[in-house]
Structure 1
Amino acid sequence: MMIHAHPGPPIRHTQRPAPAVVLRNVSRTYGDPANPVHALRDVSVDLHRQEFTAIMGPSGSGKSTLMNVIAGLDEITGGQIWLAGDPIGTLDDTARTLVRRKHIGFIFQSFNLIPTLTAEENITLPFVLSGGPITPEQRAWIAHLVGVLGLRDRLDHLPAELSGGQQQRVAIVRALASRPSIILADEPTGALDTRTAREVLALLTTAVREYGQGIAMVTHDPLAASYADRILMLADGRIVGEHRGLDPRQISEIIIGLQEARQ
């Protein structure tokens, strides 16, 4: 199966499924109450399966905090977040961890592979952590992903024996393996050369359009953001724009405008 950059239009479904993630009036405040830092201010947004969302904004705009509260890694100060229908803001740490393992896949700039585990062991690690056996259906799905991403002859290699692009492909298989409700990708192409970055972005686009995956990606890169179905712009903890169909130059102009507005 060939993977191409910018594959055809998304599959159209007659009835859109419920959002994978729902945020309503979410706020996150840090620091001294007398001099608070408002990392997020009254954020309301839905993240869907079958959609690739890029999250952009100047440094300090709240991008990382937004990802952290969606994942339940950071407490919210106000509002509510539902992950696959579960109100994660009201769950205790144990319940939140279980929901996160079931419904969220992660892809990081630094790959976050365990250096002492093989590629195959890194891929299956989330299943080991969950304590349940891998079903034949899950094994078949993993084998399919491994084949599509060209990793069949790399499964017994340690991360140090893989190129950066191969390591990120392993991380993508790991994220997709459990068919999560949403994948959170934090600068997934930041450590890659331009050609490899394009290949990874094409793979993420394929995951959305062919596998129905939902992806939310934080990025500073206008080229990376141009692969997304929609772009959310953050500034000073608020969503200040939502855009579709922009090219890298148009995205750059919006980011420059937001940065100039803060000066």
Structure 2
Amino acid sequence: MPDSTPAVVLRNVSRTYGDPANPIHALRDVSVELRRREFTAIMGPSGSGKSTLMNVIAGLDEVSAGEIWLGETPLVGLDDTARTLLRRRHIGFVFQSFNLVPTLTAEENIRLPFVLAGRKPDATERSWITHLVRSLGLSERLDHRPSELSGGQQQRVAIVRALANRPTLILADEPTGALDTRTSREVLHLLSVAAREYGQGIAMVTHDPVAASYADRVLVFADGRVAGEYRDLTPQQISDVTIDLQGVYA
């Protein structure tokens, strides 16, 4: 079951772009909680607000209205430096394209967040990283560069990197989009384990109903709003719901 502690809270968040006389409403009065130990899939058509949601949670985009708390820290109103520091400590990222540094080994990529933060992992963190590496079958691959790893291995490295400093929330953007079916299932299982056993909050943007079915809940966005929230749906049911909601908000 999800932890009762929210990883991220959004209250009445709106994000508007463009000319005030003819604005583009990327988010419209969105109120959402993403909790620890919960894996949330975020779905919706292009332009529905999914990417903007991820950006405002990560502090990469300013909100036009509303409040966001990352853990117990209010995000709105912080300057760029404060948001960068908060992001480094509290958010891990997993991308479709893996985003590993090609000139670094797997181990160096995993430790990159600590390098960027200007510190070395302590004994507890080193033990945690060792546990993750062993759990994900990467012990024999740490001295390999990304070009020497399969797509699935690269994504595992990215997941370890995201989990390494135990962030409050992991944001995953189409993490299986570049993987084959079997490897996609493995990665989705790993994300489920990260939420259930490692206590992570995870928010995953996806267009794939099969990927979304691995999540504890599915949030469907349309026209900048949360159009629906669902649990325990099959991939076909998720597909049907997203098609129906797109028709309502078209």
Q: Which of the five TM-score ranges fits, normalised by the shorter chain?
A: over 0.9
Write the distance in 1 (CA, Å) between the matches of 2:73 and 2:231: 29
* Structure 2 unmatched runs, 5+: none
Instruction: State whether structure 2 residue 231 is matched by structure 1 residue 247.
Output: no
Instruction: State whether structure 2 residue 165 is matched by structure 1 residue 178.
Output: yes
- How much does 1:260 deviate? 2.6
* 1:135-163 alpha-carbon deviations (Å, 9 max, x no partner): 01101100000000000111001101111
Map of 1:19 onto structure 2: 6
- How much does 1:262 deviate? 4.3
Secondary structure of the residue aligned to 1:211 is: coil
Instruction: State whether structure 2 residue 28 is matched by structure 1 residue 46.
Output: no
- How much does 1:261 deviate? 3.0
Secondary structure of the residue aligned to 1:89 is: coil
Map of 1:3 onto structure 2: none
Extract structure 1 runs of 4+ deviating beyond 3 A: none
Secondary structure of the residue aligned to 1:204 is: helix
Write the distance in 1 (CA, Å) between the matches of 2:185 and 2:208: 12
Instruction: State whether structure 2 residue 125 is matched by structure 1 residue 138.
Output: yes
Instruction: State whether structure 2 residue 37 is matched by structure 1 residue 29.
Output: no
Write the distance in 2 (CA, Å) between the matches of 1:41 and 1:33: 15
Write the distance in 2 (CA, Å) between the matches of 1:132 and 1:53: 31
- How much does 1:133 deviate? 1.9
Secondary structure of the residue aligned to 1:172 is: helix
RMSD over aligned Cα, in angstroms? 1.0
* Structure 1 unmatched runs, 5+: 1-9
Map of 1:4 onto structure 2: none
Write the distance in 2 (CA, Å) between the matches of 1:239 and 1:249: 20
* 1:167-197 alpha-carbon deviations (Å, 9 max, x no partner): 0000000001111100000000000001100
Q: Is the 8 A contact 1:75 1:89 kept in 2?
A: yes
Match of 1:209 among 196, 201, 213: 196
Normalised by the size of structure 2, how large is the TM-score?
0.98
Identity %: 74
Q: Is the 8 A contact 2:227 2:245 kept in 1?
A: no
Write the distance in 1 (CA, Å) between the matches of 2:20 and 2:177: 35
1:143 maps to amino acid: T
Write the distance in 2 (CA, Å) between the matches of 1:89 and 1:122: 30
Secondary structure of the residue aligned to 2:53 is: helix
Q: Is the 8 A contact 1:21 1:47 kept in 2?
A: yes
Q: Is the 8 A contact 2:43 2:207 kept in 1?
A: yes
Secondary structure of the residue aligned to 1:183 is: strand
Secondary structure of the residue aligned to 1:190 is: coil
Normalised by the size of structure 1, how large is the TM-score?
0.93
Write the distance in 1 (CA, Å) between the matches of 2:183 and 2:5: 33
Write the distance in 2 (CA, Å) between the matches of 1:144 and 1:20: 23
Write the distance in 2 (CA, Å) between the matches of 1:81 and 1:29: 16
Map of 1:123 onto structure 2: 110
Q: Is the 8 A contact 2:106 2:145 kept in 1?
A: yes
Write the distance in 2 (CA, Å) between the matches of 1:227 and 1:37: 32
2:47 maps to amino acid: G
Write the distance in 1 (CA, Å) between the matches of 2:246 and 2:230: 17
Q: Is the 8 A contact 1:165 1:196 kept in 2?
A: yes
* 1:65-121 alpha-carbon deviations (Å, 9 max, x no partner): 000000000110000101011111110000000010000000000000001110000
Match of 2:63 among 76, 89, 107: 76
Where does 1:212-231 land on structure 2 (aligned, <5 Å)? Answer: 212-231=199-218
2:28 maps to amino acid: R
Q: Is the 8 A contact 1:58 1:258 kept in 2?
A: no
